[in-house]
A and B are shown apart, each in its own frame.
Chain A
Amino acid sequence: MTNNKRKWQLRASAWFDGECSELDSSEVRSHLLEDNAARNELQQWRDLRNDLDLLQPQVADDECVSRMRDRFQEGLSREIYSYSRAMRFMNIAAALLLALSIGGWLIVNAKAPSFEVYAQQPHQLDQAIHEFLSNPGK
């Protein structure tokens, strides 16, 4: 298939869908008058359009819309219920985590005696002992 033919096919298709400018439309019409195959293709699209038109459904009646609304409301309530439940669980989990963190911090910091703190710095202890031993009379 040549590029030129392809280009004309796409232009004709756009023209068929009413998507062409005035200028393009007149060019496509002239082309269609000259090209038998393009006219056949155009007829095929018209047939397809008629065929597809058979699939146009009935508009949803009030009863159907009201039924769908009820179901949607029901679904929405379920959605809101699940969301609030998830939020509640998340709040509980967050509160537990916070309590554990605070508890942990308190255990580590509040219970620590000063001697242990001092002993945690061995070089200071060594220095104090050294000073004490070097000046026993003080």
Chain B
Amino acid sequence: MTLPKLSPKQHLHHSAEDLFDEYAAKIYGLALKCGLSAKDAEDGVQEVFIKVQRKLDTFRGESALSTWLYRVALNTLRDHRRKVIRYSRSRSLQDCEETNSIPAREDSYSNPSLDAERNERRLMVRVALDKLPDNFREVLILRELEGLSYRDISLVLNVKQGTIESRIYRARARLALEIANLEDDLND
């Protein structure tokens, strides 16, 4: 999958409202993938598009509009996530679990014990992913959950493609380690 292509000059014909209609659902999905709850993701989407409204004039067409939008979204959602974490630091573990329980994709089959197992695993992966540094978590989200190519990731993050290649490799190693640690904790 690649970013939906909009030529740099197409922004001249776009308002923040047009972009909202086109991208809101995608950005909402990205917010959930970044670890926000459904409610926080909605707040995040609003923040993203208000920022887009403020910054649209400064977009100089050096990259595709979609790339620029992803960059704004990722930065805004990162800040929003930090705010949410700071705010919820004092909340109980129960609340934290709620924060982590993103509305998962529904599967065609339904088996309660299997569902419970999947939910447990999902929560563990979520916790492990949240433990990664921002730059590792973001490349994994963009690669594995958004399905972006290395080139698109490098454009969104404004980092060289070679750096992205090695960052993805290290991020995977780190995530595997975090999951293994959590599994060990669970078995102890």
Contact = CB atoms under 8 A, between A and B. Distances in A.
Nearest to A14: B165
Interface of B: 16-17, 20-21, 24-25, 28-29, 32-33, 38, 42, 45-46, 49-50, 53-54, 102-106, 118, 121-122, 125-126, 129, 140, 143-145, 149-150, 165-166, 168-169, 172, 175-176, 179
A49 interface: yes
> What are the nearest 6 A-B pairs in CB distance?
A57-B32, A54-B122, A13-B169, A60-B25, A60-B28, A52-B144
B150 A19 contact: yes
Given A64-B28, A72-B20, A75-B50, A57 B102 contact: yes
Contacts of A107: none
Interface in A66-94: 67-69, 71-72, 75-76, 79
Given A19-B149, A48-B175, A68-B45, 9 more contacts: A13-B165, A52-B125, A55-B145, A56-B33, A58-B105, A68-B42, A69-B20, A76-B16, A79-B50
A116 interface: no
Contact of A71 (B42, B166, B176): B42
Contacts, number: 102
Contacts of B169: 9-10, 13
Given A19-B150, A54-B118, A59 B42 contact: no
Interface of B is mostly: helix
Contacts of A52: 125, 129, 140, 144-145
A133 interface: no
